[in-house]
Amino acid sequence: MTTASLPPHERARPLAKGRVKPARDLCSDCGLCDSRWVAYVRTACAFLNQQFERLEEKAHGRSRDLDNADELYFGVHQRMTTARLAAPIEGAQWTGIVSRLGVRALESGLVDAVLCVQQSPDDRFTPVPVLARTPEQVLAARVNKPTLSPNLQVLEQLPGSGIRRLLAIGVGCQIQALRAVQDTLPLDALYVLGLPCVDNVSRSGLQTFLESASRSPATVVHYEFMQDFRIHFRHSDGSAETVPFFALDTPKLKGVFAPSCLSCFDYTNAGADLVVGYMGASFGRQWLVVRNPKGQQLLDLVEAELDLAPVSSGGDRRAAVQQGIEAYDKAIRLPGWLAELVGVFVQRFGPKGLEYGRFSIDSHFTRNALWVRRHHPEIAEQHIPAFAKKIIGRYRLPAA
């Protein structure tokens, strides 16, 4: 066989460190370009080529039904539920359903390895993607590293590894690129466990966020934006701190989120087989979206260990979203006492369950559409997917 007749990834080399990535300022550092599968970056990169319909058809056999209110928001699915692991995993982000599922996938022989993200020995928030071959390695990846993570760089380790069946855990941009190159990977089976994701940051952006939001940025070991409209921080001494969303220093934080995340419309991870997040569940529970039979196969691995409850929905998000659009655009920062008051009111009377999920999607899609129209008007029409355009069309947006 001549070199010219080899498939593109067998001729390509990972991009050299320090090279400008093809998506430039929009790069989410998903890791594809750090592998030989960079050969497909022009079509695979979520920020160079948004292709939700093709992605959904490939993964689930059909694209989402835009006239179905739940699919419009949450993507193709055959089941949604909420759950808690009956025996939560110490140190996990929520109750550890994702880690337990990774462990069971290995123990049951469903897969040979799990693509997940451990942390640097020097810094708890610096991600280190791995192909975990043992339950211990999967458990060592528990808890979010709330920074851009080059998960797909470990594809480079697949050839010659003996791994033929893989469970990949990842956020939307990573999964979009993975699905696009799936058929060229040296695998017999691929299972995808997706996490919802918004507002990710670089490591230095995370520092700015922590310093602006927490009373003790150096000791934060865990945080999450939760369904009670507060950010919950956990500190290394075990103490907890909560801050209302409305108390955030919006003017300071406007530049913190990665441009990739400000131009992302894949909040609920459209290409995954199974999604495990929290945004559509009541406070304290996890939210599970089974997109296809493979997703149910994954859920079967842990379902007997879950305390399940049906999804529910309450309140009306729309006025709060509209007010939020205007306040964000003017970069208004509320005084502390008013932020607390608004927080208590919204927590009591605001959207809950799936309606909280819709609130968060509406708020982020409107903000991101405006960001794309202002910063990258040349790609806006192609880049904003049809489902997002339909959602955004329900609100009054400031001029681009």
Residues lying near ligand FAD in the complex (CB under 6 A) are found at 92-99, 116-117, 127, 141-147, 149, 151, 169-171, 195-198, 200, 224, 276-279, 286
Half-sphere exposure of 372 (CA within 13 A, CB side): 24
Question: Tokens 């050839």 map to which residue?
Answer: 159
Q: Do the strands 230-235 and 306-309 form a parallel or antiparallel pair, or are they unpaired? A: unpaired
Alpha-carbon span 353 to 279, nearest angstrom: 7
Task: For ligand FAD, give the closer residue by CB, 49 or 260.
Answer: 260
Query: Read out DSSP for 204-260?
Result: HHHHHHHHHH-S-GGGEEEEEE-TTSEEEEEETTS-EEEEEGGGS-HHHHTTTS-HH
Q: Identify each DSSP E strand in 86-209 by its residue range.
A: 113-120, 123-132, 165-170, 189-194
With respect to ligand FAD, which residue has the nearer C-beta, 143 or 325?
143
Cross-strand pairs, 223: 233
At its nearest, how many Å lie between ligand FAD and the CB of residue 27?
15
DSSP state of 153: G
Give the residue with the Cβ less far from ligand FAD, 39 or 353: 353
- What residue has token string 């990169």? 45
Tell me how far apart the alpha carbons of residues 306 and 304 are, in angstroms, rounded to a whole number. Answer: 6
Q: Is 9 left (phi over 0), alpha (psi -120 to 50) or beta?
A: alpha
For residue 224 the two structure tokens come to: 């999450």
Shortest gap between Cβ of 369 and ligand FAD (angstroms)?
Answer: 18
CB 143, min distance to ligand FAD, A: 5
Q: Which helix (H) or strand (E) holds 79?
A: strand 79-85
Q: What are phi and psi of 194, to 5 degrees?
A: -100, 150
Residue with the shortest CB distance to ligand FAD? 277
- Token pair 């309140």 is found at 315
* Least distance in angstroms from the C-beta of 8 to ligand FAD: 26
∠ CA 214-216-222, rounded to 5° = 70
- Return the amino acid letter for 40: Y
Residue 181 CB, nearest distance to ligand FAD (Å)? 17
Q: Which of 37, 257 has the CB closer to ligand FAD?
A: 257
Shortest Å, Cβ 84 to ligand FAD: 10
Closer CB to ligand FAD, residue 41 or residue 115? 115
Record the tokens describing residue 294, joined without a space.
């493979």
User: Nearer Cβ to ligand FAD, position 39 or 205?
Assistant: 205
Cβ 266 to ligand FAD shortest distance, Å = 12
Q: Give the phi and the psi of residue 353 in degrees, each rounded to 5.
A: 60, -130
- Smaller CB distance to ligand FAD: residue 39 or 74? 74
* Between 145 and 235, CB nearer to ligand FAD: 145
Question: Which is nearer to ligand FAD, 39 or 163 (by Cβ)?
Answer: 163
Asked if residues 104 and 52 have their Cβ atoms less than 8 Å apart, the reply is no
- Nearest distance, CB of residue 96 and ligand FAD, angstroms: 4
Helix, strand, coil percentages in the chain from 3-state DSSP, rounded to 5: 40, 20, 40
Nearer Cβ to ligand FAD (141/342): 141
CB of 348 to ligand FAD, least distance (A): 21
For 332, phi then psi, to 5°, come to -80, 135
CB of 382 to ligand FAD, least distance (A): 25
Residue whose CB is less far from ligand FAD, 289 or 346: 289
In the bound complex, what is the minimum distance in angstroms from residue 280's beta carbon to ligand FAD? 7
